[in-house]
Structure 1
Amino acid sequence: MKQKIDFVNGDTGKALLKMVMPLLMAMILMLAYNLVDSIWVGNLLGESGYAALTTAGSVSILLYALTTGIGNGTSVVVSQLVGAGDKKKTDEVIGTSIVMSVVFAVSVIVVLECLLNQLLMVFQTPDDIYKDARSYLAISLIGYVAIFLYMQLTSIYRSFGDPVFQMKGMLMGTVINLVADPLFIKAFGISGAAIATVLSQVLCLLFAVIYGKKKAYFGLSLNGFCLERVSRILKTVIPTSTQSCIPAISSMVMVILVNRFDVTTIAAYGVVKNIENILFYPAMAMNMALITIVGQLYGAKRNDRIKDYMRTALIYGAVMEAALTVLVLIFGAQISMAFVKEPAVAAIVSHGLKIIGIGYLCYMVTSIFTAKMAGMGKVNLSMALMFIYYIVIRVPLATVFIRGSLGLDGMWIAILISHLAAAFMAFMVDRKAKMKA
C-alpha cells in the first residue's frame, strides 16, 4: 500500500505539519467556498436573502456534519488497517464503505426532500423568508449525494497520509462556485446560489474519482462489497457521525432560539457563525490530521509516538488558534460588513465575538483530545464528551439565558461556558486514561 507520509519513523513536527497544512488550506478553501454563497447572497439579495440563507443553511450544516463524521469514522478504520499493513482488509473496508455511502446518501435526500415544509416549520422560519429558504434547500439537497461521496473519498485518501487532494478539490470547488454564483443568482435569485453549489459539488466528485484512479492507493472492484466488514464500519461510523452531528444539532436549536428576534439579529447570528468558521477550521484540520496519525500509530502499536504527536499538536494548535482569535476580535466588525453592509449587524457581531473570545482556543484543545480518542478507536467516549459539550451544557444554558434579561448575550455566554467546560473535561478524561495505563 502506498503512503505519502511516514508517521512512525518520520520527524514528529515535520510529519504533523505535512499533514495539517494541506488540510488547513483545504479548510480555508472550504471557508471561502461557503463564504462565496453568503457574500454574493448578502450583497445581491440583501438582509432578507441572507436571513433565508442562514435558516436554510442550518440543514446543510447538519448534513455536512453527518458527512464529515462518517468520513472520520471511515478514516479511523482505514488508518488502523493501513498502519497494520493489512491490504486485503483495507480494500474490503473501502469498497464496502463506498457502497454503503451511496445507499445512505440517496435515502437521506429522498426523505428530506419529502419533509422540507416540516423542517422549515421546526425552525420557526419567518413568513417573509420562508419561500426563499425552501427554494434554496430544495435544490441544494440534490447535490448532497455528490458531496457525500466526495468527502468519503477525501477521508480515504487522507487515511493513506495524503491530505493534498482535499486541498486541490476544495480549490476547484471554490473557483467554480465563485464564478458561477453571481451569474446564477442574478438569473434565478437565491435558487441560483443553490444551483451553482450543486454544479461545483458534482464536478468535485468527478475530480475525486479521477484522482483516485491515478494514485491507485487501493484496489477497488465491482464485487468490493464485503458483508463481514459492515459491522466494523458501523461500530465506528455511527459514533463518529453522531458526534459530528451533535454541534450541528446544537446550532439548529440556536437558530430556532434566534428566530424569535428580528431579521437583523438573525442575519447577525449567521455572520457570527460564518466568522467562527475562520477559527474552527484550523481545529478541524488538526482533528482530521490527528485521527489519521493516531489511527496509523495505534494500528502499528506505537503508543509512544502518539504521545509525541499530542504534545506537538497542542503547541502548534494553541499558537495558531490564539493568533487567529486576536485578529478576528480586532477586525470582527469590518469582517461582518463584507457579509451584510449594515452597521447594526456589525455591532451585534463584534459584541458577540468579544464575549465568546477565549472559547475558540478551548475548542482547539478539545478537538485535539477527541482526535486522539477517535484514532485509538475510543469513538464512544469521544461522542459522549461532545454530547455533554453541546447538548447537556450549551443548549439548556442558551435556552434559559436568552429568554431572560440577557437576551442575545445569553446565547454568547452559554457558548463560552460550553467551550471552557469541554476543554477541561477532555483534559481530565485524557489524564485519567494515562493514569490507568
Structure 2
Amino acid sequence: MSTTIDFAGEKTLPALLKMSLPMMAATFLSMAYNLVDSLWIGNLLGEEAMAALTSSTPVILLLNAIAMGTAGGGSILLSQAVGAEDRAARERLLSTSFFVSLGLCLLLTAGSEALLPLLLRGLGTPADILPLARDYLAVYLLGYLSVFLYNYFAAVLRSYGNTAFQAIAMLLCTLLNAVLDPLFIHWLGFSGAAVATVTSQMTALAIMLVYLARKRLFSCHIRQFDRGLLLSLCRSALPSVVQQGVPAVSTAFLTGLVSGYGVSAIAGYGVACKLEVVLLYPAVSLNMALTAIVGQCVGAGRPDRARDYLRASLLFGSGLLAALTAAVLLLARPLAALFLSGEAAVSLAARYLLVVGVGYLGNGLANCFLGAINGAGRPGTGMLLTALYHLGARIPLAWLASALGFGLTGIWCAVLAGHLVAALSTQMAARRLLWGEGAPSLPAAAKK
C-alpha cells in the first residue's frame, strides 16, 4: 500500500490543498446531506418535527463523535507508521483497530437502543415531541454500524493521504438522500427521514468497500490482531473520542437549556445549528487533514515540515472562514427562513448567528492547532484543551447566563466566549509543542 501524498517531500501549500480540499468537499456534502433532512422535515412536517429533530441531534452527534474519535485516534498511529515506512506496523495497526472498532460499535448500538427514552428525557425533551424523537433515533441506530465503519475506512484513507474518494462517496450519498427524503417522509412520516438517512449511509459504506476492494487498499486478518497494540490504541483513541465527544455533550447541554424556552426556541436553535455547520465543517476538515499530515511528518522525522503545514493551514483557513462567515451573517435571516415559516424561530436563529459570528474564526484557528497537536502524537493534550473551552468556559457560562436571567442571548454569548478561549489556549499549546519541545517520535508499540 503506497502513500498518495508524500507530505515530508512535497511543496507545502500544494500538498495541503491536495489533502484538505477534497475533505472540505466531503464535509460540505455531509453538511448538505444534513441540511436536506432539515429542509424537508421543516417544510413538510412543521415546527414540532423540527424541534424533535433538534432534540435527537445531540444523541446523533455524540454517537458520531465516538465513531470519528475512535477512527481518528487509530489514524494518528497509522499516519506515523506510514511516514516511517513501516509496513509490518501498518498491517498490525489496521487489523487490530478494525476489530476493536467493530466490537465497540456493536456495544454502543445495543446500549443506545436500550437507553433511548432515558437519554431523551435527560436532554429535557418536551413530552409532546418525545415520541417523535424516540422513533427517529430508533431507526437511525439501525444504521449506526454503517456510520461507524464508514468513518473508520475514511480515516484509513486519510492516513495515506487519500481524501478524494471520500468526496465522491459523499456526493452520491447526498444525492440519494435528497431523492429518498421526500418519498419516505410521504410514506412513513417523520421516521421516514431516518429511513432515508440509514439507506443513504449504508450505500456510502458499500461504495467505500467496493473502492477499497478494487484498489486493494485494506487488508485485515485475525492472525494480525496484536494485543500489544491495544494500550497504544486506547491512549490515542480515547483522547480523540473525548475531543469529538465533549462538543457533542456541550451541544446536548445547550439543547437542554434552550428547551426551557419552548418549542419555537428549540426549533430556531436547531436551524441555527444546521446553518453554522457551513462555518464549522471547514475547520473540522483542516483539523483531520493536519492530524494525518503532521503524523506523517513526525513519522518521517521532519517536525520542521509539520510547522510549515500548520502555518499554511492557519493562513488558508483564516481567509476561507472570514469569507464564509461574512456571507452567512449577511444572509442569516433569509437562510433561516428556508427551514421554517414561524417568525419567532427564524428571528432566534438569525440572532444566534449574529452574536456568535466572530467566534467562528477563533474556532477555525483552534481546529488547526488541535490537528497539529494530535498529529504530533499528543491527543491527550488536545483532549484537555477541548475540555477546557467546553467544560471550563462554554457550559458554565451558558448555565450562569441563563440562571441570571440573561436568556437566550446570554447563552449565545457563552458560545462565543468558548470559541475565543479555544483559539487562545490551543495556540499557546501548539507553539510550546511544535516550536518548543519538538515533535515526539513514533510510539514504540507501533515499531515492534
TM-score, normalisation: structure 2: 0.96
Output aligned runs, 1:56-75, within 5 Å: 56-75=56-75
Residue in 1 aligned with 2:303? 303
Residue deviations 1:169-202 (CA, integer Å, cap 9, x gap): 2112111111111100111111101111111111
Residue in 2 aligned with 1:270? 270
Q: Aligned-pair distance for 1:221? A: 3.0
Residue in 2 aligned with 1:170? 170
Q: Aligned-pair distance for 1:205? A: 1.2
Question: Taking every aligned residue pair, what percent have the same amino acid on both sides?
Answer: 38
Residue in 1 aligned with 2:14? 14
User: For the residues of structure 2 that align with 1:3 and 1:431, how far apart are their CA atoms?
Assistant: 28
User: For the residues of structure 1 that align with 2:104 and 2:431, how far apart are their CA atoms?
Assistant: 37
Residue in 1 aligned with 2:220? 220
1:210 counterpart letter in structure 2: V
Output aligned runs, 1:359-398, within 5 Å: 359-398=359-398
1:319 counterpart letter in structure 2: G
Residue in 2 aligned with 1:350? 350
User: For the residues of structure 2 that align with 1:395 and 1:220, how far apart are their CA atoms?
Assistant: 42
Residue deviations 1:132-176 (CA, integer Å, cap 9, x gap): 011001110111111101110000011011001211121121111
User: For the residues of structure 2 that align with 1:245 and 1:305, how far apart are their CA atoms?
Assistant: 30
Distance 1:431 1:401, change over 3 A: same
Q: Aligned-pair distance for 1:426? A: 1.2
Residue in 1 aligned with 2:441? none
Residue in 1 aligned with 2:443? none
Residue in 2 aligned with 1:97? 97
Partner of 2:307, secondary structure, is helix
Question: What 5-or-longer segments of structure 1 have no aligned partner?
Answer: none
The number of equivalent residue pairs is 437
User: For the residues of structure 2 that align with 1:334 and 1:356, how far apart are their CA atoms?
Assistant: 18
2:114 counterpart letter in structure 1: C
8 Å CA contact 1:318, 1:361 repeated in 2: yes
Distance 1:55 1:13, change over 3 A: same
Q: Aligned-pair distance for 1:61? A: 0.9
Partner of 2:129, secondary structure, is helix
Asked if 1:53 corresponds to 2:36, the answer is no
8 Å CA contact 2:370, 2:430 repeated in 1: no
1:126 counterpart letter in structure 2: P
Deviates more, 1:200-209 or 1:326-335: 200-209
Partner of 2:377, secondary structure, is coil
Q: Aligned-pair distance for 1:436? A: 4.5
User: For the residues of structure 2 that align with 1:432 and 1:162, how far apart are their CA atoms?
Assistant: 30
Deviates more, 1:405-414 or 1:227-236: 227-236
8 Å CA contact 1:160, 1:217 repeated in 2: no
Q: Aligned-pair distance for 1:233? A: 1.2
Q: Aligned-pair distance for 1:218? A: 4.1
User: For the residues of structure 2 that align with 1:336 and 1:432, how far apart are their CA atoms?
Assistant: 41
Residue deviations 1:226-281 (CA, integer Å, cap 9, x gap): 22222221110011011110000010000110110111111011011111100001
User: For the residues of structure 1 that align with 2:158 and 2:387, how far apart are their CA atoms?
Assistant: 26
User: For the residues of structure 2 that align with 1:30 and 1:59, how far apart are their CA atoms?
Assistant: 17
User: For the residues of structure 1 that align with 2:186 and 2:347, how far apart are their CA atoms?
Assistant: 29
Deviates more, 1:346-355 or 1:266-275: 346-355
Asked if 1:190 corresponds to 2:184, the answer is no
1:84 counterpart letter in structure 2: A
Residue deviations 1:94-113 (CA, integer Å, cap 9, x gap): 11111111111111110111
User: For the residues of structure 1 that align with 2:138 and 2:214, how far apart are their CA atoms?
Assistant: 35
8 Å CA contact 1:68, 1:241 repeated in 2: yes
Asked if 1:324 corresponds to 2:330, the answer is no
Partner of 2:103, secondary structure, is helix
User: For the residues of structure 2 that align with 1:392 and 1:402, how far apart are their CA atoms?
Assistant: 16
Q: CA RMSD in A?
A: 1.1
Q: Aligned-pair distance for 1:222? A: 4.6
User: For the residues of structure 2 that align with 1:133 and 1:322, how far apart are their CA atoms?
Assistant: 35
8 Å CA contact 2:51, 2:266 repeated in 1: yes
Partner of 2:221, secondary structure, is coil
Residue deviations 1:294-345 (CA, integer Å, cap 9, x gap): 0000000001111111111110000000000000100011110111122222
Q: Aligned-pair distance for 1:223? A: 3.1
2:205 counterpart letter in structure 1: L
User: For the residues of structure 1 that align with 2:90 and 2:20, how far apart are their CA atoms?
Assistant: 23
Residue in 2 aligned with 1:407? 407
TM-score, normalisation: structure 1: 0.98
Q: Aligned-pair distance for 1:89? A: 1.1
Partner of 1:211, secondary structure, is helix
Partner of 1:339, secondary structure, is coil
Partner of 1:115, secondary structure, is helix
Q: Aligned-pair distance for 1:131? A: 1.0
User: For the residues of structure 2 that align with 1:70 and 1:125, how far apart are their CA atoms?
Assistant: 28
Residue in 1 aligned with 2:445? none
Asked if 1:41 corresponds to 2:59, the answer is no
Residue in 2 aligned with 1:281? 281
Residue in 2 aligned with 1:152? 152
Q: Aligned-pair distance for 1:432? A: 3.0
